[in-house]
Amino acid sequence: MIVIDGCKSDKELSGFSNLEEVLTSLMQDKSLEGRVVTDVLVNDEAFSEIYPHQAEDMSCENITSVELRSVPVAQMTIDIAAEMEKVAKMMASGASHVSRLFREASDADALELLQDLLDVTRDFMAMLGVLKDRVGGMDEDFLARTTKLTDLVTEMSDVLENEDWILLADLLEYEFMPQCQEWQTFSSVLYQQVQAGFAQEAGR
């Protein structure tokens, strides 16, 4: 059985050989136009690929149900914009903590927390990517800020690889934290812009 947003699809699992074929076909379904898939359930359990093309290795013989859940592009974009300020604040706080630990020579604890900080930062950058892809006409300020953050994260990764903990602490305290603080302010403005943009589109 195949279900899209609570509605049973006329497509049957027996018509496909593996899960990747199912998902590729469903992504082209008209009911998903203007929407973003947020959840994939296989046999009533959440599914996400652990490695590339894992779905191709999953035979439909072992699958009894596939369910897709989605939200409108506009709603997802607004939700992401609304979360950015909170995430940026979390990043700034984490950077302060990690920097302090490096300066205290608590390298093991600092590295453990740094990994969490980098994970959150990647999520934040993924949010920026969604906004860039979903919202047309992003101004130069947004693009410049995004590029600046991306370049800094790349520099931090290089310093991490070289195990220069003091330089990494400096980058976190004097460059990364100020950028996060700027993003907190900018995210609030961006959220209002995104809301206004979609409201204008809806009124046409």
Q: What is the pLDDT along the chain (204 residues), one digit of tens a residue?
A: 999 999 999 999 999 999 999 999 999 888 888 787 889 999 999 998 888 889 999 999 999 999 999 988 777 778 888 888 899 999 999 999 999 999 999 999 999 999 999 989 988 888 888 777 665 556 777 888 889 999 999 999 999 999 999 999 999 999 999 999 999 888 887 787 777 766 665 555
Residue 70 included in any domain:
no
Whether 121 contacts 113, CB under 8 Å:
no
- pLDDT attached to residue 199: 64
Strands 2-4 and 45-46, bridge-based pairing: unpaired
**Domain encompassing residue 105:** 75-202
Residue 69 included in any domain:
no
Residues 56 and 79 in one domain: no
- Say if pTM beats, i.e. exceeds, 0.85: no
Residues 31 and 98 in one domain: no
Exposure string for 161-198, b = 16+ CB within 10 A, e = fewer: eeeebebbbbbbbebbbebbeebbebbeebbebbeebb
Residue 100 included in any domain:
yes
Residues 103 and 175 in one domain: yes
The number of domains in the chain is 2
Whether 80 contacts 106, CB under 8 Å:
no
Burial of 44 (0-12, 13-18, 19+ CB in 10 A): exposed
Q: Which residue in this structure is represented by tokens 């149900």? A: 65
Residues listed for the chain: 204
Whether 65 contacts 22, CB under 8 Å:
no
- pLDDT attached to residue 76: 78
Residues 106 and 187 in one domain: yes
Residues 82 and 176 in one domain: yes
Residue 34 included in any domain:
yes
- pLDDT attached to residue 111: 94
Residues 81 and 37 in one domain: no
- pLDDT attached to residue 200: 63
